Chain A
């Protein structure tokens, strides 16, 4: 089995200055600065990419494939994510982008948005037939799935057990390529052009299926400039390649997947902090019982907000709405894909709870450790300054009981310790405590605890 905590996000240690920007921005408290460099705790990281978005030194990066991957295969198929369409100015025809993809070296293209329409169709059926699972939670955003797996065990049962569109596209694209070329499946490279690190991580270490059908993942931002250079040629001789409508292309922006459910009883939240709040409320059963569907996107704006895109998410959203305006509602229907059994759209592996936040290996040990955490919390200043390398005082306390940190990592406690040492030294020298205490520059009344 693939490493269940594989991550696409990684650190370039040379660029990292050891500042606290990433640790404060990480929504799952997964980063620590130790010995002057950021370190990702793999059990907590959900590959949302917020650290990449906010690192001022560009030290956080995404593992991904590059163009040389095309040489590995006899025949390659590009799977463009719908958010790719929002990256271009004055784009009126998706065929131009798809033609440019072929001109740049792919043998064929298969739109992820086409597969998305099939997933929408099956989602509608699943939600209709399973009122006991309401509200059904979308599984299209891999970061959200990973978050639920570690933090919201009670919601796992609500997850929509359907493959994300890119995975369905990979299946369909490979079948079509085999039919067209007569090559073996292994000679065909299915390459996803992805908007975010979460989707890169999914292709390497998926949830819901044992192995991904995607052979490689490139970043939209890596192919963007090359595509631009081929657009003029594509305009001269565009090919009819587009095969998806509003519902499919809409998946690229927040609310798009929910719109494809064709129901009013839905909620769509985007931005990881908002997503977490919705999940917290959902766990406490704060929602009306007849809510049918919940779409969640870790990135603000939806997939166009992914950090591997080029364009500002909200501009991309506006452009996609423009592009979408004249498309038909939906161009793909399951009945047109005779070889696609609807069962092939479903998860084959269960998603299971990973209790990574547990503080010990047994209930008793965890409880003793939690008590210890509360004891440390009484000593810490609770400023959440991040100077110790942990994002909050509580995170530091938890790190200490887990054995990753020590109390003196807190600079305030260290200062007090230094202060005490200094006082006792002066006491020895002068024999007068009171005078030296007043004289010490460390008696700062601004720190209240």
Chain B
């Protein structure tokens, strides 16, 4: 079974570059003939992850594996970690600083949206060490 692998580095201090990974993946999935709704789900999920890494973790790395019937995304950062994952998953809960909120980010929808738009999602996090989010979007 063919598979494709992509790696992206998310820069920690540059908002304008967040979205590069989601754009790139979006185009590849369209070239593969993946349904528009699945492309949308994957793109939104990765973009939310990119933004989270910029706001909270000083950047990170995204590794993507595409199979004929699904895309698996692993987002790894070495930021502060999440103390209470249950709380962080609540819509509207955010620890984003005011400077970020004034840019229109930090609405507390990042992790909830990643869960909403992916078919599977797991988070592992250790305070002081970092966070890993794994997501899967199935194509059909």
Contacts and interface: CB of A to CB of B under 8 A. Distances in A.
Interface of A: 151, 153-154, 280-281, 283-286, 288, 353, 355, 357-360, 362-364, 366-368, 370-371, 374, 398
Contacts of B43: 283-284
B28 A370 contact: yes
A154 to B, nearest CB: 5
B104 interface: yes
Contacts of B30: 151, 153, 355, 357-358
15 contacts: A154-B37, A280-B19, A283-B40, A283-B43, A284-B19, A284-B23, A284-B43, A284-B44, A285-B47, A357-B30, A358-B30, A359-B33, A363-B34, A364-B2, A366-B31
User: B2, B32, B36, B40: which has the most chain A beta carbons within 10 Å?
Assistant: B32
B128 interface: no
Interface string B105-119: 000000000000000
B33 A358 contact: yes
Given A284-B47, A288-B104, A367 B37 contact: no
B4 interface: yes
A363 B32 contact: yes
B104 A366 contact: no
Interface residues of B, number: 24
A360 B40 contact: no
A398 B28 CA distance: 11
A357 B34 CA distance: 11
Contacts of A355: 30, 33
Contact of B26 (A283, A353, A358): A283
B68 A367 contact: yes
Q: Is the interface of B mostly helix, strand, loop or mixed?
A: helix
Nearest to A152: B36
Interface string B41-53: 0011001000000
A267 to B, nearest CB: 13
A357 B40 contact: no
Contacts of A284: 19, 22-23, 26, 43-44, 47
B41 to A, nearest CB: 10
B137 to A, nearest CB: 14
Contact of A154 (B2, B32, B40): B40
Given A280-B23, A286-B47, A360 B37 contact: no
Contact of B33 (A283, A366, A374): A366
A367 B44 contact: no
A277 to B, nearest CB: 10
Nearest to A373: B31
Contacts of B66: 367
Contacts of A360: 33
Contacts of A358: 30-33
B69 to A, nearest CB: 8
B62 interface: no
B39 interface: yes
Interface in B6-21: 19
B53 to A, nearest CB: 15
Nearest to A285: B44
B117 to A, nearest CB: 9
A357 B44 contact: no
Contact of A367 (B23, B32, B36): B32
Contacts of A363: 32-34, 68, 139
A363 B29 CA distance: 10
Nearest to A153: B36
A374 B4 contact: yes
Given A360-B33, A363-B33, 11 more contacts: A153-B36, A154-B39, A284-B47, A288-B104, A357-B30, A358-B33, A362-B33, A363-B139, A364-B68, A370-B4, A374-B4
A163 to B, nearest CB: 25
B99 to A, nearest CB: 18
Contacts of B139: 363
A39 to B, nearest CB: 21
Contacts of B23: 280, 284
B47 A366 contact: no
A364 B28 CA distance: 13
